Structures are given as C-alpha cells and as structure tokens.
C-alpha cells in the first residue's frame, strides 16, 4: 500500500520526536509543510532550554515564520506527533496555519478535540482543519515507552531512598 502524504510528513515529525527522546525530553516532534516542502521543524526542548514554551509546535512554527519572513502561515500544514495543548493550539490559530495533522490524542492536555477545541472555535478569527490519528500507533508508542521509563526510574529512586535510609 502506498503511504499517504500525511503519513509521509508525520514520519518526519516522528524523526523530530526521536531527537527529543535522545535529549531526555518528552518525545514530541513537529514539522510545518508548505508547498510540499518542510519549512519548519521542532521537537520538545522544555528541559534543555529551561523554557516552558519550547514545545515542538512553537519551535516549528517559529522556524516556518522565519523561513517565509512572515508570521502568517496560510497555506501551511503542521504535523505533530501529539495533539497540541492550549498554548500550541493558540499558536496555530495566531499563525493562520490551515491544517493540523496529529498522531496521538492527549486526553490530559489536548486542546484540539480532547479537552477543548481551540483551533476550531468559531468565536476566534481563524479556524484550522484537523486531521487526527495519523500514524497514531507509532506516535503513541514512543510516548508510552518514554513515560514507562520515567515511572521505572522514579520507582527505582524511591526504592534506593528506602534502602539508603534504612541503613
């Protein structure tokens, strides 16, 4: 079966997520595509940059804006491995991106259908087309593996503290 264009670009977002994973960041990756070309890339760098706004989407949108020399990204699509949070959904609306394609839903913080739907709120001056669940399995897998490892390390640290304090 031939891979769809959305799957093709989502694989690039997954590559970005792998870069975040290598840095110990929550593995979320994003790319902005315009006229069949990636014009912005990003992966989570919150811990690396000590910046709560350094989400994959914000970094990719910033790079795309720099590339085009404009904050208006009309005609562009954002591919991201995890449903955007409220901050990133707001950035999508403000940047005038046309399409959002995401992999895994985020039931705890998703603002593009799960908890809220900021990008399609008709009270705002721009709405974004949403294409959910592209390569959902792969996008979910990398996040699940990361958080399982975090939980395991936390458990081991607690066990180490118990053993260390007992002596």
Q: Are 97 and 121 spatial neighbours (Cβ–Cβ below 8 Å)?
A: no
Higher pLDDT, 111 or 163: 111
Per-residue pLDDT of 98-136, as tens digits, reads 999 999 999 999 999 999 999 999 999 999 999 999 999
Closest alpha carbon to 57 in 16, 18, 98, 19: 16
Per-residue pLDDT of 27-75, as tens digits, reads 999 999 999 999 999 999 999 999 999 999 999 999 999 999 999 999 9
pTM of the predicted model, to two decimals? 0.91
Q: Are 47 and 20 spatial neighbours (Cβ–Cβ below 8 Å)?
A: no
How does DSSP classify residue 120? G
Query: Is residue 77 exposed (0-12), middle (13-18) or buried (19+ Cβ within 10 Å)?
Result: buried
What ranges make up the beta strands (E) of the chain? 29-34, 37-43, 76-82, 99-104, 129-131
CA 97 to CA 93: how far, in whole Å? 7
Residues annotated catalytic, as ranges:
57
Closest alpha carbon to 119 in 90, 78, 76: 90
CA 39 to CA 41: how far, in whole Å? 7
- The structure tokens 């955007």 sit at 84
């Amino acid at each position: 079966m031939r891979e769809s264009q959305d799957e093709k670009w989502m694989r690039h977002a997954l590559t970005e997520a792998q870069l975040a994973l290598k840095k110990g960041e929550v593995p979320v990756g994003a790319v902005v595509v315009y006229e069949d070309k990636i014009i912005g890339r990003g992966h989570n760098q919150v811990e690396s940059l000590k910046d709560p706004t350094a989400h994959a989407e914000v970094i990719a949108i910033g790079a795309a804006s720099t590339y085009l020399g404009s904050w208006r990204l009309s005609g562009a699509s954002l591919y991201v491995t995890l449903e955007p949070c409220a901050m990133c959904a707001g950035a999508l609306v403000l940047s005038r991106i046309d399409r959002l394609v995401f992999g895994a839903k985020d039931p705890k913080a998703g603002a593009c259908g799960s908890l809220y739907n900021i990008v399609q709120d008709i009270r705002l001056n721009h709405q974004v087309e949403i294409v959910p669940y592209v390569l959902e399995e792969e996008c979910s897998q990398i996040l699940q593996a990361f958080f399982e490892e975090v939980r395991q390390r936390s458990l081991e640290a607690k066990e180490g503290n118990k053993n260390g304090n007992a002596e």
